[in-house]
Amino acid sequence: MTDPGGLGDDKQRQLEHHRVRPDGTRLTTDQGIVVDDTDNSLSVGERGPTLMEDFHFREKITHFDHERIPERVVHARGAGAYGHFEVYESLAEYTSAEFLCDPSISTPVFVRFSTVAGSRGSADTVRDVRGFATKFFTRQGNFDLVGNNMPVFFIQDGIKFPDFVHAVKPEPHNEIPQAQSAHDTLWDFVRLQPETMHMMMWLMSDRAVPRSYAMMEGFGVHTFRLVNAEGRGTFVKFHWKPKLGVHSLAWDETQKLAGKDPDFNRRDLWDSIENGDFPQYELGLQLIPEEDEHRFDFDLLDPTKIVPEEEVPVRRVGLLTLDRNPDNFFAETEQVAFHTANVVPGIDFTNDPLLQARLFSYLDTQLIRLGGPNFTQIPVNRPVADVHNHHRDGYHQMAIHQGQASYHKNSLSGGCPAVGGSGAYTHYQERVDGNKIRKRSESFADHYGQATLFWNSMSDWEKGHIVSAFRFELGKVVAMDVRAGVVEHLNQVDHELAVKVAEGIGVEPPEARVTTHDRGSPALSQVGQPGSAKARKIAVLVADGSDSGAIGAVGDALTEAGAQVEVLAAKDGSVLSANGGRIEVTRALPTAPSVTYDAVLVPGGADAVATLLADGDSVHFVAEAFKHCKPIAAVDDGIALLERARVAGVRLAGEDTSSDQGVVSDQGVITCRGPVGATFVDELVNALVLHRHWTREISAVPA
Ligand code: HDE
């Protein structure tokens, strides 16, 4: 288990008291009685009935019968990790939160990533929002930043949340489809609630299919409030900016991964941490003085709106590093309980009606999910700050409260625990008055302007992906009037978008061009994101006779760049290299599909390539990598495999006799004839850093 900090932080030291290890132990009952036989129940004679008095049998079965707890009503599927957060420099000007004011403090955290709609056992790579929930174990108590990887939400008022979730979850009559938004009820909801349109643009974009949890942004979504020691408030939007940049999977790839490796994102998180490639994110803040509250053409309290980064820059204020996998999924990742109301002094709420509803919901949901009010005592949830109050009893009470008085005020326990004092939480003093009404503010009325902003900000290939996503999703909707209704809304976002979607789903394209705007926000596009070869996986396809020289040269350079290189052959073990040595095989091809790698290298070696050419799995491996726009590299005879896989529309080394025999790099396909040198390796690393080559023409690839 990776734990570079050892037990070096307060949270890990606290958890250590609860860890139970099997080494050198004997099997006992829950009462500590050593068991002599756990395979045969106590019975009357060898063929007779089982006896009630078999306390071990009864305890074992009963405990098993009660192993399950309700899964989360949303965000059921998740993966978690521990880490730490450090602020770069004091933010005391804005907040009194100690962990944001003292750069010498390393605050332990637990983060849980999740999908929203699917059950606990559903696939990771479905089109969905990703949860990004962070629990900071600060010395002033727990702060939970319960965010998503998209900066807006489907609805403006939390009272609609049950309706939205009922619509997106599997349909009630047949519980179909699992973890999919491509079905009638969701799109019926969307069509009747146009406030969803901005979020639907994000959901139909590549943001909904992240390559890795380490390659997606996080957002607090709502406008929160920072409060400094003088009581001055500043509006704030929280962001997480991944050090590896924002990168996504190809849609076809996600669907295949859902079958071939449903744990793809979870496994990637686990493996990255075990390999020492710790996911890192910078905390970003958009800070808005209170006097600027009404400066925007939208309402800061409306969670369907972003504050464009070009209008209010994101200030990077600290670094989050995830460096320790949990010991036990259930104990930690399943039982972790987030709550938006867990704030520390210096952080407060706003009147965003979605946030207000969440402030109620999260505590309520933990009570049913974790079986009573003492879930805060479960090890993963316990603050590292001291807890003292008069809360008593309840299911699973772990504390033994001493003393006579469990009430405030008391004199019998010396008035303790005492109230107030320095560092006590005080709520921001906001003046509020008004009539009791059920009415949405007029300032929340524009449902299309920022959907258009998002669309305008996309590159051509990103727009192409969005159109395909709408066509796929609406193409699965049976009710044609629902399809048509959504297209009408899309026409309010962008006419071209609406026409293209309509043409793909058998709906009459809208004729009327609605007036929109042409503003964009470059920060919304994934083009130009930072890239890295770190934590990328490269497959090397080999057979008997492969050229080990190329593998060595490329392998060393890629490993140096932080990538994971795996050698794949038809069978486990090793293959003979062209020079008579042996090449160790990391995995057998049937267990290592193309979709689980970021790039592929085919070394030379005439015999080896002849074997690969005759093997459908190997040809398919390359064709699929090409279709999914991944870097592909081949040397000498290996280039023949690319030709067989119909890597079309790119220039290959030595393809026409007039071209030189050196390195040819075209759209992420890197080939060379002759010995592998630094140029070949550099081109491959550069292609990896660019992540995918989305502009490739792939429609003719049959993979
Ligand atoms: Fe949640 N949400 N949510 N949500 N949410 C839950 O709490 C809810 C919303 C988010 O890894 C539940 O413990 C309401 C926005 C994450 O454990 C529940 C509303 C955002 C997680 C709940 C929202 C989120 C949850 C289910 C509308 C992004 C997973 C289990 C008013 C800012 C946390 C649980 C984890 C989980 C309610 C909207 C993020 C039922 C009522 C907006 C990341 O309490």
Predicted confidence (pLDDT) per residue in 113-162, tens digit: 999 999 999 999 999 999 999 999 999 999 999 999 999 999 999 999 99
User: Which of 364, 381, 398 is a domain's end point?
Assistant: 381
Q: State how far the Cα of 387 lies from the Cα of 395, in Å rounded to an integer.
A: 18
| Residue 35 belongs to a domain | no
Q: State how far the Cα of 323 lies from the Cα of 3, in Å rounded to an integer.
A: 7
The torsion angles phi and psi of 312, rounded to 5 degrees, stand at -130, 105
**Joined tokens for residue 32:** 């500590």
Residue-level pLDDT at 703: 67
Residue-level pLDDT at 2: 42
Q: Same structural domain for residues 98 and 205?
A: yes
Give the tens place of pLDDT for each residue, 624-649.
999 999 999 999 999 999 999 988 88
Q: State how far the Cα of 464 lies from the Cα of 677, in Å rounded to an integer.
A: 37
Q: Look at residue 675 and tell me whether its pLDDT is greater than 90.
A: no
Q: Same structural domain for residues 272 and 353?
A: yes
Listed residue (198, 63, 205, 196) closest to 130, CA to CA: 205
Listed residue (373, 368, 363) closest to 341, CA to CA: 363
Residue 564 near residue 536, CB atoms below 8 Å: yes
Q: State how far the Cα of 2 lies from the Cα of 18, in Å rounded to an integer.
A: 18
| Residue 241 belongs to a domain | yes
State which ligand 1 atom lies nearest to the alpha carbon of 354.
31
CB 164 less than 6 A from any atom of ligand 1: no
Listed residue (74, 225, 232) closest to 162, CA to CA: 74
Taking residue 90's Cβ as centre, other Cβ atoms within 10 Å add up to: 13
Identified catalytic residue from 56, 84, 142, 148:
148
Sign for the pseudo-dihedral over CA of 7, 11, 13, 18: negative
Q: State how far the Cα of 695 lies from the Cα of 157, in Å rounded to an integer.
A: 40
**Which phi-psi region, left, alpha or beta, contains residue 395 (left: φ > 0; alpha: ψ -120 to 50)?**
beta
CB 199 less than 6 A from any atom of ligand 1: no
CB 78 less than 6 A from any atom of ligand 1: yes
Instruction: Please tell me whether the peptide bond between 305 and the residue prior to it is cis, using omega within 30 degrees of 0.
Output: no
User: Which of 381, 401, 426 is a domain's end point?
Assistant: 381
β-bridge partners, 147:
132
pLDDT-derived band at 700 (thresholds 50, 70, 90) equals confident
The torsion angles phi and psi of 266, rounded to 5 degrees, stand at -65, -45
What is residue 331's DSSP assignment?
I
Q: Look at residue 656 and tell me whether its pLDDT is greater than 70.
A: no
Total residue count of the chain as it appears in this document: 703
Among 69, 71, 75, which is best to mutate for testing ligand 1, by the most ligand atoms less than 8 A from CB?
75
| Residue 392 belongs to a domain | no
Q: Look at residue 250 and tell me whether its pLDDT is greater than 70.
A: yes
DSSP code per residue over 132-157: EEEEEEETTEEEEEEEESSSS-S-SS
**How large is the average pLDDT for residues 249-257?**
98
Give nearest CA residue, ligand 1 atom 7. 362
Q: State how far the Cα of 246 lies from the Cα of 347, in Å rounded to an integer.
A: 28
β-bridge partners, 82:
110, 324
Residue 87 near residue 103, CB atoms below 8 Å: yes
**Strand duo 599-602 + 574-576: pairing:** unpaired
Q: Coil, strand or helix: which one is 108?
A: strand
Residue-level pLDDT at 463: 98
Q: How far is the CA of 218 from the centre of ligand 1 (A)?
A: 14
**Joined tokens for residue 586:** 């990391």
State which ligand 1 atom lies nearest to the alpha carbon of 113.
11
Q: How far is the CA of 206 from the centre of ligand 1 (A)?
A: 22
State which ligand 1 atom lies nearest to the alpha carbon of 73.
26
CATH of the domain at 489: 1.20.1370.20
Q: State how far the Cα of 351 lies from the Cα of 153, in Å rounded to an integer.
A: 16
Backbone Cα Rg of the chain: 28
Identified catalytic residue from 56, 75, 239, 465:
75
Residue 357 C-alpha from the chain's centroid: 24
Q: Give the angle subtended at the CA of 395 by the CAs of 392 and 399, to the nearest 5°.
A: 50
β-bridge partners, 565:
538
Q: Same structural domain for residues 462 and 611?
A: no
Mean pLDDT taken over the chain: 96
Query: How many structural domains does the chain have?
Result: 3
How far, CA to CA in Å, does 549 sit from each of 174, 497, 545, 565?
Answer: 57, 50, 12, 15
Listed residue (123, 425, 436, 113) closest to 258, CA to CA: 123
Residue-level pLDDT at 660: 56
* Predicted ipTM of the assembly: 0.98
Q: Same structural domain for residues 565 and 510?
A: no
Give the tens place of pLDDT for each residue, 453-476.
999 999 999 999 999 999 999 999
Q: Look at residue 654 and tell me whether its pLDDT is greater than 90.
A: no
User: Which of 381, 411, 441 is a domain's end point?
Assistant: 381
Residue 325 near residue 1, CB atoms below 8 Å: yes
Residue-level pLDDT at 662: 87
Q: Look at residue 83 and tell me whether its pLDDT is greater than 90.
A: yes
Taking residue 285's Cβ as centre, other Cβ atoms within 10 Å add up to: 24
pLDDT-derived band at 655 (thresholds 50, 70, 90) equals confident
Please report how many Cα atoms fall inside a 13 Å half-sphere around the Cα of residue 456, on the Cβ side. 14
Q: Look at residue 178 and tell me whether its pLDDT is greater than 50.
A: yes
| Residue 593 belongs to a domain | yes
Q: Look at residue 379 and tell me whether its pLDDT is greater than 80.
A: yes
Q: Same structural domain for residues 284 and 183?
A: yes
Give the tens place of pLDDT for each residue, 85-123.
999 999 999 999 999 999 999 999 999 999 999 999 999
Q: Same structural domain for residues 506 and 544?
A: no
CB 108 less than 6 A from any atom of ligand 1: no
- 456 included as an active-site residue: no
Q: Same structural domain for residues 173 and 90?
A: yes
CB 154 less than 6 A from any atom of ligand 1: no
Residue 607 near residue 588, CB atoms below 8 Å: no
| Residue 419 belongs to a domain | no
Q: How far is the CA of 362 from the centre of ligand 1 (A)?
A: 7
Q: Same structural domain for residues 492 and 577?
A: no
Q: At what angle do helices 449-456 and 480-493 cross, to 10 degrees?
A: 80
Q: Give the angle subtended at the CA of 2 by the CAs of 244 and 265, to the nearest 5°.
A: 45
Q: Look at residue 38 and tell me whether its pLDDT is greater than 90.
A: yes
Give the tens place of pLDDT for each residue, 470-512.
999 999 999 999 999 999 999 999 999 999 999 999 999 999 9
| Residue 395 belongs to a domain | no
Q: State how far the Cα of 379 lies from the Cα of 10, in Å rounded to an integer.
A: 12
Q: State how far the Cα of 132 lies from the Cα of 213, in Å rounded to an integer.
A: 9
Q: Same structural domain for residues 350 and 464?
A: no
CB 693 less than 6 A from any atom of ligand 1: no
| Residue 66 belongs to a domain | no
**Joined tokens for residue 212:** 């890795």
Give the tens place of pLDDT for each residue, 409-448.
999 999 999 999 999 999 999 999 999 999 999 999 999 9
Give the tens place of pLDDT for each residue, 195-221.
999 999 999 999 999 999 999 999 999
CB 158 less than 6 A from any atom of ligand 1: yes
- Burial of 55-66, coded b for 16+ CB within 10 Å and e otherwise, reads ebbeebeeeeee
CB 218 less than 6 A from any atom of ligand 1: no
Residue-level pLDDT at 6: 59
State which ligand 1 atom lies nearest to the alpha carbon of 75.
29
Q: State how far the Cα of 407 lies from the Cα of 42, in Å rounded to an integer.
A: 50
β-bridge partners, 569:
588
Instruction: Please tell me whether the peptide bond between 530 and the residue prior to it is cis, using omega within 30 degrees of 0.
Output: no
Among 169, 338, 350, 375, which is best to mutate for testing ligand 1, by the most ligand atoms less than 8 A from CB?
338
Give the tens place of pLDDT for each residue, 329-359.
999 999 999 999 999 999 999 999 999 999 9
- 579 included as an active-site residue: no
CATH of the domain at 221: 2.40.180.10
pLDDT-derived band at 1 (thresholds 50, 70, 90) equals very low
Q: Same structural domain for residues 346 and 473?
A: no
Q: Look at residue 659 and tell me whether its pLDDT is greater than 60.
A: no
Q: Same structural domain for residues 560 and 666?
A: yes
* % of the chain residues with pLDDT over 70: 98
Q: State how far the Cα of 577 lies from the Cα of 626, in Å rounded to an integer.
A: 26
**Joined tokens for residue 124:** 């990771």
| Residue 130 belongs to a domain | yes
Residue 144 near residue 125, CB atoms below 8 Å: no
Q: Coil, strand or helix: which one is 353?
A: helix
CATH of the domain at 569: 3.40.50.880
CB 355 less than 6 A from any atom of ligand 1: no
Q: Burial, 437: exposed, middle or buried (Cβ in 10 Å; 0-12, 13-18, 19+)? A: exposed
Q: How far is the CA of 266 from the centre of ligand 1 (A)?
A: 19
CB 75 less than 6 A from any atom of ligand 1: yes
Listed residue (130, 112, 18, 140) closest to 337, CA to CA: 112
Instruction: Please tell me whether the peptide bond between 383 and the residue prior to it is cis, using omega within 30 degrees of 0.
Output: no
Residue-level pLDDT at 649: 86
State which ligand 1 atom lies nearest to the alpha carbon of 74.
26
State which ligand 1 atom lies nearest to the alpha carbon of 336.
17
Q: How far is the CA of 334 from the centre of ligand 1 (A)?
A: 14
State the distance between the two ends of the chain, measured CA to CA, in whole angstroms. 38
Domain of 602 in residue numbering reads as 537-689
Give the tens place of pLDDT for each residue, 551-605.
998 999 999 999 999 999 999 999 999 999 999 999 999 999 999 999 999 999 9
Q: Coil, strand or helix: which one is 43?
A: strand
In the chain, % helix, strand, coil (3-state, to 5) comes to: 30, 15, 50
Q: Same structural domain for residues 513 and 567?
A: no
**Joined tokens for residue 631:** 């870097």
Listed residue (268, 222, 271) closest to 247, CA to CA: 268
